[in-house]
Chain A
Amino acid sequence: MADTSHGTGGLTFHKSKRVWPNEMNIFVALILIILIFEALGQLLPYMKGQSMLFDFNTRRDDTILNMARIKIIILQVSIIGIIALGVTQVIITGGIDLSSGSVVGAAAMIAMSFAQTELVNGNPNPKAIFGNWAMDLPIIVPLLIGLGCGLIAGAVNGLLIAYTRIPPFIATLGMMVSLRGVAKWWSRGNPISFPTEEYADISNGNIVDSLTFGLFSDSWTMTQLFDGQNPAIYFLLLAVLFHFVMKYTVYGKHTYAIGSNEDAARMSGINVSGQKVLVYAIAGTLAGFAAILLTSRNVTAQAGMGFVYELDAIAMAVIGGVSLTGGRGSIIGTVLGALIFGVIISGFTYLKLDAFYQEMVKGAIIVAAVVLDQWRQQRSAAKA
């Protein structure tokens, strides 16, 4: 930033002068965390020189990477990661969404009640919620109902925030409490189980195999890489989609503008209220999709599903460099944040440490991420 062009209008645009992206820092952090776990695995006596990411001994597959663990890391964070993609957009507008966990709970119950199969092993479905009319419906029905639940919840959040001017924290807190009630009320607290096979296949099938018409069914990629990984594939596809949406569309630009300076955005003619409704509705819809993936994967829905997912999703975004004051952050950052999350969970299991240490460290990392971000901001402000 030091060199200045001289003379009137002597202004040049330097393509090379892009600023070092914050995402690189997060990527480096991800690598460092992986290396720490890897080193601990090698050094701690009780681990007997195990490796976290590599599989030198058995060479079961065509790769020395420990594919099983890598797949689990990604799979574990995929469903919450999908929520985090929406939460990222909400936080970039300067808002917050506390309702996504409860949206998952409510959407899970409601969608699942329309996804049940009539006969279980020849007997009537013991968990049936509705009569026969709601049994064995085409898969599109529960799918649309689940997404619709999320869309409506998100749109109501957005409408409340945009038109009553109550803080997003309050609006989504109310939604969080109410929707948890909805989730319990829907089946009077009973779990809803036994979905149709098609519904279970949303998460448990192999979408890549289906989309390639089974042409490569026997290949290594299909059997080792993509099998049982549907949530991860949806997560990555949605991440790519929203990366482009946030970076290259008017929707994305206005989302950043609102978070940077809402008054400026309004004065510039951006429909701030409409944009907010849209952002919250998209976040809600993504939470609805997460509910479908979660119930499909577990082949059951319970009223407690998605509990504190909203906080995990917010944590992923924050670790990924999304600023809680709005205006800054990116989808790539959030994806990296989600991976850091996954590596930590997986790493603790791998080091055979109890889950409560995991939570303590998770909390510390969230705080550290925000402190680092603020410190970085002050430094860049001081430089300018």
Chain B
Amino acid sequence: MNDIVLKTQDLTKHYGGVHALEGADFELRAGEHVAIMGDNGAGKSTFVRQITGVEQRTRGKVWLYGKEVHFAGPLDAREAGIETVFQTLALADDLDVPDNLFLGREITKWNWLGPFRRLDYKAMREATMAGLEKTAVKIPNIRNSIRNMSGGQRQCVAIARTATFHSKLTIMDEPTAALGVQETAQVENIIRTLKEDGEPLILISHNMRQVMDLVDRIIVFRRGRIVANLKKEETDGQDVVAYITGAKTGAEFEGAA
């Protein structure tokens, strides 16, 4: 049981009469990279929002490292070690790389000054460098404001946060949806680095090639339910598409959708 990073049972979310997520049972093991696939509106993002505390679930339980958790907000989740790279990048354009990495959790000195406590720029720069090196992110000048960076560099900065803070679980919501080919490759490299370091990851993606390249296991959502749990070795793109479109439903999920 100890190697289960995240477990959900009967995780359910209703928006009024809309059953956006229905009875999701899910497990993620240590060092495992899992992809979540499904059509638009299938419940992928809803599932993630329940785990990260962005929304409050209607029903169900969530365990993180064997401990039942109930996050009041995304901050709680982050403090517990879940780092999320959101579809909309949560970066402050006018700040530079270390500022963004440490936004809301700055390293400070003179803490008796309360809100006017001093920023320890040096320590934050060093930690940023270490974090970027770990993910092999190349950014020419970390003092540049985010505004002046390409989409890929921004995405890398967002992802580098996870590496800097040694998160227990990383969740990426379509990290390459808006990126070019080269930038996508860079982000995928970072994901591989996380894999080598044994950091668990949930990846939401529409990109079949990417999913087949990167992850160990694929979970397919359809109309708010999990309809398949596929090991990468035992499936292929066509198979997954069949599950996504509803042509097939996993044996253990029969009757679910």
Binding site for B on A (CB under 8 A): 1, 3-6, 8-11, 13-14, 17-19, 245, 248-251, 253-254, 256-257, 259-261, 263-265, 267-270, 275, 278, 327-328, 380-381, 383-384
Contact of B142 among A13, A245, A275 (CB under 8 A): A13
Distance of A334 Cα from B60 Cα, bound (Å): 54
Whether B148 and A384, one on each chain, are in contact in the complex, defined by CB atoms closer than 8 angstroms, is yes
Contact status A270-B103, CB under 8 Å:
yes
Residues of the B chain whose Cβ atoms lie less than 8 Å from the Cβ of A256: 92, 94-95, 99
Of the A-B pairs whose beta carbons lie under 8 Å apart in the complex, a sample of 25, sorted by A's number, is A4-B138, A4-B140, A5-B138, A13-B142, A14-B141, A19-B143, A19-B145, A245-B116, A249-B115, A249-B116, A249-B118, A249-B119, A250-B116, A250-B117, A253-B106, A256-B92, A257-B95, A264-B89, A264-B90, A265-B104, A267-B86, A268-B103, A269-B78, A381-B148, A384-B149
Complex: chain B residue closest to A11, CB-CB: B132
A245 CA / B116 CA spacing, docked (Å): 7
* Minimum distance in angstroms from A328 CB to a CB of chain B: 5
Tell me if A9 and B133 are in contact (CB < 8 A). Answer: yes
A384 vs B151: C-alpha distance when bound (angstroms)? 11
Q: Is the CB of A253 within 8 A of B95?
A: yes
Known interface pairs A11-B142, A260-B92, A260-B94; 4 further A-B residue pairs with C-beta atoms within 8 A, sorted by A's residue number:
A9-B136, A13-B143, A267-B86, A384-B148
A327 touches B94 (CB 8 A): yes
Contact B116 A1 (CB under 8 A): no
Interface residues of B in 124-145 (CB under 8 A from A): 125, 129, 132-134, 136-145
Least CB separation from A380: chain B residue = B148
Contact yes or no, B92 A261, CB < 8 A: yes
Chain A residues with Cβ below 8 Å from B40 are none
Tell me if B105 counts as interface (CB < 8 A to partner A): yes
- What residues of B have a CB within 8 angstroms of the CB of A327 in the complex? 92-94
Residues of B within 8 A of A253 (CB): 95, 99, 103, 106, 119
Residue B23, interface by CB 8 Å: no
Interface residue B91 (Cβ < 8 Å from any Cβ of A): yes
B75 — which chain A residues lie within 8 A by C-beta? Answer: 269
> Is B108 interfacial (CB-CB < 8 Å)?
yes
Residues of B within 8 A of A381 (CB): 147-148
Instruction: List A contacts of B139 (CB < 8 A).
Output: 11
Interface size bracket, B side: 35 or more
B74 close to A (CB within 8 Å): yes
Contacts of A264 in B (CB 8 A): 89-92, 103
Shortest Cβ distance from residue B82 to the other chain A in the assembled complex, whole angstroms: 13
Q: Does B235 contact A (CB under 8 A)?
A: no
Q: Of B125, B144, B150, which is within 8 A of A19 by CB?
A: B144
For A248, give its contact among B118, B132, B142, B145 (CB under 8 Å). Answer: B118
**Which residues of chain B have C-beta atoms less than 8 A from A1's C-beta?**
140-141, 144, 148
Any A CB within 8 A of the CB of B113: yes
Contact indicator A268/B141 (Cβ below 8 Å): no
Q: Is the interface of B mostly helix, strand, loop or mixed?
A: loop
Q: Which of B93, B116, B118, B149 contacts A260 (CB 8 A)?
A: B93
> Hey, what's the 0/1 contact readout for B143-159 against A, CB within 8 Å counting as 1?
11101111000000000
Beta-carbon nearest neighbor of A8 in chain B:
B136
Q: Given A17-B141, A381-B147, A384-B147, is A269 in contact with B91 using a C-beta cutoff of 8 Å? A: no
Instruction: Give the contacting residue for A251; candidates B95, B116, B125; CB below 8 A.
Output: B116
Tell me which of A250, A257, A384 contacts B150 (CB under 8 A).
A384
Residue pair A250, B108 in contact (C-beta under 8 Å): yes
| B96 → A minimal CB distance (Å) | 10
In the complex, A267 Cα to B92 Cα: how many Å?
11
Nearest-neighbor residue (CB-CB) of B84 within chain A: A267
Contact indicator B115/A5 (Cβ below 8 Å) = no
| Closest residue of A by beta carbon distance from B141 | A17
Contact assessment for B143 and A17 in the assembled complex, using a CB-CB cutoff below 8 Å: yes
Question: Which residue of B has the minimal Cβ distance to A270?
Answer: B104
Contacts of B89 in A (CB 8 A): 264
Q: Mark B223-246, 1 if CB is under 8 A from A, else 0.
A: 000000000000000000000000
Q: Which residues of A contact B144 (CB under 8 A)?
A: 1, 19
What's the Cα separation between A267 and B91 when bound, in Å? 9
- In B44-90, the 8 Å CB interface with A consists of 74-75, 78, 86, 88-90
Do B125 and A261 have beta carbons less than 8 Å apart? no
Q: Is the CB of B147 within 8 A of A257?
A: no
Q: Are A9 and B90 in contact (CB under 8 A)?
A: no
Q: What's the Cα separation between A260 and B100 when bound, in Å?
A: 11
Contacts of A3 in B (CB 8 A): 140
Q: Which residue of A lies closest to B148 (CB)?
A: A384
Q: How far is the CB of B160 from chain A (nearest CB, A)?
A: 11
B80 to chain A, nearest CB (A): 13
Chain B residue numbers with a CB within 8 Å of A251 are 115-116
Chain B residues with CB under 8 Å of A248's CB are 118-119, 121
Bound together, the chains give a CA A383 to CA B150 distance in angstroms of: 11
A-contact 0/1 string along B176-200, CB 8 Å cutoff: 0000000000000000000000000
Complex CA distance for A106 and B175, rounded to whole angstroms: 53
How far does the Cβ of B88 sit from chain A's closest Cβ, in whole Å? 8
Residues of B with C-beta under 8 A to A254: 115
Whether A268 contacts B117 in the complex (CB less than 8 A), given A1-B148, A9-B132, A256-B95, comes out as no
Complex CA distance for A261 and B150, rounded to whole angstroms:
17
